[in-house]
Structure 1
């Protein structure tokens, strides 16, 4: 037992030393570095929004890496990343060093050509081809429950687990897409696409995962605060 306690203390000291070295490396140059990992299927607009406050700063360099969640979390554990952006928060237990910050919650809407605006949601779902997230996603479970409630057998034109691909499919006119409006923010602004209806009670949450560190990168706190402020502003605008 004494040996186990000594080993635990040694590991804690080693992690603290690694943490300090990583933080000093980030602050050692003339420019600070923020290393961000993003789930490869995550909305590009959300990713850009998260790093936007730093893009015009000459004293900050942003390194953005995308990949599968397991790989990104491993990079976080190895202190190669400061924060991981995801819409699938990792499971936590008492031994976990992960801190999961929910920084935004977006409504999910039916997106399509402006010419279809004004038609009832149930009619659109029953008659028009649909572009949906794949069955493994959280959003799809809510959509399938709605189809069951409305006794609708959807005409599925395409499925994708990548928000960028869902955006491209919506732009191509392949069908009506069930996605958060932020994914097609630019197309909505130009009038190329329209928000035809909103799915009440169905939302997608965006999370930032950090590591419990004794010497955290101060840019992470700035990024989290800015992201939450932007989310509040967007929510107030929607109201």
Structure 2
């Protein structure tokens, strides 16, 4: 068995046809078929079965693909480490959920600010996009407030790196001198989106208070919740860290923390043979 055969096998498994895989690999279909048969002979098992025009993995094929993926992932990991070896600077590739508080991201990365030997590469995106890049080793870590699904086959390591209280926050004019329950009954509210953990916890709190809130706006983006609060669209349900500057300046005022509601911040990594030492340092500080 050789790695070239495994690479061709992965291509056929991904495409599902010899014709399509051969086209992408710039090989003739007959040459590709010969290579796959040689791999099957060396393993002693058929890796594909034909269904119509498609090739479907056999049970042995699925096992072989899992191992092949692990082999090439380790090779990519090693290549990434070797590219960094001997360089005066190390890169840390960070993905952050697009809706995550920028203030929190800065708090996590603050220990690296000003360090000339470290280059931080940041990108934002959806959870699904970022996890795909983490899985392919294009990212070292994903910062999020959404725990990824924990299933037997997932490689994710989830580190809780912080939590923040969630408060009722608004402009001083809107807040006035009323108590929190009066404000919740009487004022328009700016809330996290319905599919968020924060919103579920807030809705449960309203049920306990027997309050039907007047919803002025909903958003799944902390930056948008911050802007809506600044524009006095209503009282916002938001972690104070998101509007720290506005609270300090007096532009916004915190009514009170909401009982039992907290925002959890997570760093998601994957198992790696050669972990990034800069990331290990950050996680040890969190």
TM-score (norm 1): 0.89
CA distance in 1, matches of 2:123, 2:216: 31
Report deviation, 1:184.
Answer: 0.3
**Distance change in 2, residues 1:193/1:2 (3 Å):** farther
Which is greater in Rg? 2
| Aligned equivalent of 2:240 | 181
Q: State the distance in 1 between where 2:254 and 2:155 align.
A: 40
Counterpart-to-counterpart distance in 2, 1:179 and 1:32: 35
Matched, 1:147 2:202: no
Corresponding residue for residue 232 of structure 1: none
Q: Deviations over 1:113-154 (max 9, x none)?
A: 235255221101011111101111111111111222222221
Q: Indicate conservation of the 8 Å contact 2:81/2:274, yes or no.
A: yes
- Residues 117 and 196, structure 1, Cα contact 8 Å, conserved in 2: no
Tell me, yes or no, if the aligned pair for 2:73 and 2:136 is still in contact at 8 Å.
Answer: no
Matches of 1:13 and 1:2, distance apart in 2: 19
Q: What is the aligned partner in structure 1 of residue 116 from structure 2? A: 58
Aligned length, in residue pairs? 227
8 Å contact from structure 1 (residues 37, 66) kept in 2? yes
How much has 1:173 moved relative to structure 2? 1.1
Pairwise CA RMSD of aligned residues? 1.8
Q: Would the alpha carbon gap of residues 33 and 153 (structure 1) be closer, same or farther in structure 2, given more than 3 Å must change?
A: same
Task: Tell me the equivalent position of 2:221.
Answer: 162
Shift of 1:11: 3.8
CA deviation string 1:38-76 (max 9, x = no partner): 000111111111112112111111010000111000000
Q: TM-score scaled by structure 2?
A: 0.75
Instruction: Show the counterpart of 2:263.
Output: 204
Q: Does the 8 Å contact 1:170/1:176 carry over to 2?
A: yes
8 A Cα contact 1:55 1:62, kept in partner:
no
Structure 1 Cα separation of the partners of residues 77 and 272 of structure 2: 7
Which has the higher relative contact order, 1 or 2, with Cα contacts under 8 A spaced 6 or more apart? 1
1:80 aligns with 2:138: yes
The answer for unaligned runs of 5 or more in structure 2 is 1-42, 46-59
- Structure 1 residues 8, 69: closer, same or farther in 2, change over 3 A? closer
CA displacement at 1:224 relative to structure 2: 1.5
